[in-house]
Amino acid sequence: MTKRFNPQDVFFRKAQKQGFRARSAFKLQSILKKFPKFLQKNDSVLDLGCYPGSFLQVLSQESPRKLVGVDLQKTDSVSHALIHQGDIFSEEIAQTLFSYGKFDVITSDMAPKTTGIPDSDQFHSVELCERVLDLSSHILRPGGNLLLKIFVGADFDPFWRQFKNSFKKAKIYKPDASRDRSRETFLVGEGYQGNRE
Ligand SMILES: C[S@@+](CC[C@H](N)C(=O)[O-])C[C@H]1O[C@@H](n2cnc3c(N)ncnc32)[C@H](O)[C@@H]1O
């Protein structure tokens, strides 16, 4: 039987060919192309959920002043990046992040360990996003930018309203590399103005 066309396979092979650790690299490249003001040369950047490191690989090519990554899993080094292993809900990681001062840009491609139960996975995805928005009130500079991956579902709308209120400009964007992952999408916030809810 002929194998069904799967765009994820194409991105997987492309990532291998270009030396990226995961196809997520193409999601970020597509977002940076669509939102050219999101990231500037010399920005200080935090990447949450950085393992295996393809976002960090893309970010390090953009000449950041400072590049920090965090993940539950151990991430092999990426040039210019300072990487911490830990849970973003832990006090230890919060304190580590506070010690860097404010970031210009935060990206989060974090996803919960999926269970196959859509409502539960979506709930945990929103929980991760809420934590990032909460941390942002301490570590994202006013006017800074935030990218969040989120699973769409019942808890999406209230979170989206909160996200939108926190930025001058906010958009929902689904890159081609996310196409057949129907529940995931990205929120792009530019011009942080504080958590206003
Ligand atoms: C889709 S992967 C990220 C891929 C990465 N952006 C890349 O380009 O290589 C999602 C990551 O989120 C991480 N993650 C999930 N919950 C987390 C938490 N509470 N704290 C830190 N990292 C978390 C997972 O360990 C996983 O590595």
CATH at residue 118: 3.40.50.150
Domain span including residue 62: 42-192
Task: Report the pLDDT averaged over residues 54-66.
Answer: 97
Q: How many domains does the chain have?
A: 1
**Do residues 25 and 58 lie in contact, with contact meaning Cβ atoms separated by under 8 Å?**
yes
Q: What's the confidence (pLDDT) of residue 91?
A: 98
Task: Report the pLDDT averaged over residues 14-26.
Answer: 94
* Domain-located, residue 87: yes
* Domain-located, residue 72: yes
Check whether 1 has a pLDDT greater than 60. Answer: no
How many whole angstroms from 71 Cα to the centroid of ligand 1? 6
* Residue among 21, 27, 51 to mutate when testing ligand 1 (max atoms within 8 A of CB): 51
The answer, as to whether pTM is greater than 0.85, is yes
SS3 string of 70-136?
Answer: EECCCCCCCCCEEEEECCCCCHHHHHHHHCCCCEEEEEECCCCCCCCCHHHHHHHHHHHHHHHHHHH
Q: What's the confidence (pLDDT) of residue 110?
A: 98
* Domain-located, residue 147: yes
Confidence of residue 196 (pLDDT cuts 50, 70, 90): low
> Does any ligand 1 atom lie closer than 6 A to the CB of residue 23?
no
Each residue's pLDDT tens digit, 100-128: 999 999 999 999 998 888 889 999 999 99
